[in-house]
A and B are shown apart, each in its own frame.
Chain A
Amino acid sequence: MASAYLDLIRIRFLMMLAYRVNYYSGIIIYAINIGAYYFLWGAIYGAQETLGGFTVSQMTTYVAVSWMARAFYFNNLDREIGNEIRDGSVAIQMIRPYNYLVVKMMQGFGEGIFRFLLFMIPGMALACLLFPVKLPSDPGIWAVYLVMLFFSFLINSQINILTGLAAFFVESSEGMMRLKRVAVDLFSGVIVPISFFPGWLEGAMRWLPFQAITYLPSSVFTGRTPAGEIGGVLGLQLLWFLILLLPIALVWRSARTRLFVQGG
């Protein structure tokens, strides 16, 4: 069984590899976005040394690594699941001897490996060339960051799966997917680090899973998180991963009994 799942990762990876040219422009797009925010933050800081607990140089690194992390964890599992529900092919998937949601997760991971190797790493190299990004010197930080990045992928994919499964309950989930994408970009800390939010909003964000996608790992990467707190931050990611399993299981259970195929 495990080998079947591994094959799914491999197949998706190879499929992505066949279309790799499409992602070359993506690297440039992400570099453009990093550039926009690099100059913007430069102007925001002006003569000030630190804002929201970040120095200018930490902010540059934060922006670069956050966008490039997004290049890795981003996927369209929500759209894939939504489409399969709408055209009814999910019914075929359900009678196959595997778990549909695990399959989706594996396909997402195959895409993730591709994005990591051919999108995030070259993109990060380009960002280091163009902007004064300061990479951490401690190999321990690198190791922790990679683990946290993996959890970013898991949590983001879980949120995507939940959004995709909403197609069981609403007939058009297009708008919802777009809303979710904006919410994740804003609240995960890609656009603004959570510590910049006004107190009440920052407080609210601490109780939501979004910060575990970008803000927590990027803060560790920039060296903003003290060594003593790294364990707790990792634990928080693990906790959110486990918590999010619950609504997925519930939605999946109740959804299966109400499949309604449009035009199928």
Chain B
Amino acid sequence: MKLRFYLSLLMDYFKNYAKTKLTYRADFWIEVLSDLSFQAANLIFILVVFQHTPTLGGWSEAEVIFVYGFFMVPFGIFGTFFNLWNFSDRYITKGEMDRVLTRPAHNWFQVTLENMDPPSLIGSLAGIAIMVSCWLKLGLPLEWWDIPVMIVLVLGAVLVYGGIYTALTAISFYSDAPTGILPLMFNIQNYGRYPVNIYNKVIRFLLTWLIPFAFVGVIPASYFLGDHGDGLSQLALLTPVVGIVFMTIGMAVWNHGVKRYRGAGS
């Protein structure tokens, strides 16, 4: 019942989004292009680097690109539903949270749906294409369970991202000027796209258990690539667990924070 309600909300918000975007079609494509260019620059980096070395921390070119392709899928889904980079400004300072809180649907859903950004999904499609091409290049066997496992791992990775950024965005409820913590995180997540065994122990521990960006890229992807002797593939099936744990933490911080919201002065 409740699920049906939220699905219908999702549809309506999407229709609304499509209507506004169709007004500025050229913008839409430029946005898609510039989103993809950012990913392309990172891929060019990988391609250029592998001109000079056969392996990166024991991983071949096709494997590293596969990891990157995997990363793009949850990242695109996350980007679609989590576009809250100006949350503090728009909802707290300008007080738009007032409007959201008077409605029956859960405030977090409303806020994420209001800001949804479906063009990010094109990045996910590109990621799938990259994975398929690497899969063929590496000659990996395809079992029937690989597809459902892939879906579960991708969803787990989306939850990892969602949890971390929900918690960080909720800081706006506690502090007036949360300067720079989001961009900080955005840069740290770059570490998660490469095999984490190239980093030193402290960073590896941090990326695996404290800010688990490794669970968005290299760890779940290594389920398909097999054991590299670094223990990453054994952790792969933990991805959904880590995702649920972090999403739960994120929502707890959010829900606790919303109670502190007092509305803007004017």
Interface residues of A (CB under 8 A from B): 21-22, 24-26, 28-29, 32-33, 35-36, 39-40, 42-46, 48, 51-52, 170, 172, 174-176, 178-179, 182-183, 185-186, 191-192, 196-198
Is the pair A25, B183 in contact by a Cβ cutoff of 8 Å? yes
| Known contacts A25-B180, A40-B198, A186-B41; 20 further A-B pairs (Cβ under 8 A) | A21-B179, A22-B180, A25-B181, A28-B184, A29-B184, A29-B187, A33-B190, A36-B191, A39-B203, A43-B195, A44-B52, A45-B53, A48-B53, A52-B52, A172-B30, A174-B31, A176-B30, A178-B37, A186-B45, A198-B48
B179 and A175 contacting across the interface, CB-CB below 8 Å: no
Contacts of A197 in B (CB 8 A): 48
B118 to chain A, nearest CB (A): 16
Assess the A43–B184 pair: CB atoms within 8 A: no
| SS of B interface (majority) | helix
Query: What's the Cα separation between A43 and B184 when bound, in Å?
Result: 24
B179 touches A22 (CB 8 A): yes
Q: Are A192 and B179 in contact, CB atoms less than 8 angstroms apart? A: no
Contacts of B187 in A (CB 8 A): 29, 32-33, 36
Interface size in chain B (residues, C-beta < 8 A): 36
Q: Which residue of B lies closest to A47 (CB)?
A: B53
Smallest CB-CB separation from A45: which chain B residue?
B53
* Interface hits, B13-34 → A, CB 8 Å: 24, 26-27, 30-31, 33-34
Q: Please give the distance in Å from A63's CB to the nearest CB on chain B.
A: 12
CB within 8 A of B53: which of A24, A39, A44?
A: A44
Assess whether B86 is interfacial by the CB under 8 Å rule: no
Which of chain B's residues 157-205 have a Cβ closer than 8 Å to chain A? 179-181, 183-184, 187-188, 190-191, 194-195, 198-200, 203
Cα(A43)–Cα(B218), bound, Å: 16
How many whole Å from B195's CB to the nearest CB in chain A?
Answer: 8
Distance (whole angstroms) from the CB of B204 to the closest CB of chain A: 10
Residues of A contacting B49 with CB < 8 Å? 40, 44, 192, 196
Q: Which of A28, A179, A198 contacts B37 (CB 8 A)?
A: A179
Chain B residues near A22 (CB, 8 Å)?
A: 179-180
Interface centre among B45, B49, B51, B181 (most CB of A within 10 A): B49
B110 to chain A, nearest CB (A): 25
Of the candidates B44, B179, B195, which one forms a contact with A25 in the assembled complex, judged by CB atoms under 8 Å apart?
B179
A46 to B55, Cβ gap below 8 A? yes
A contact residues around B51 at 8 Å (CB): 196, 198
For B30, what are the chain A residues with a Cβ–Cβ distance below 8 Å? 172, 174-176, 179
CA distance A22 to B41 in the complex (A): 27
Task: List 18 contacting pairs A-B, 8 Å CB cutoff, sorted by A.
Answer: A25-B181, A29-B183, A29-B187, A39-B200, A43-B57, A44-B52, A46-B55, A48-B53, A51-B53, A172-B26, A172-B30, A178-B34, A179-B34, A183-B37, A192-B48, A196-B51, A196-B52, A198-B51
Q: Which residues of A contact B52 (CB under 8 A)?
A: 44, 48, 51-52, 196
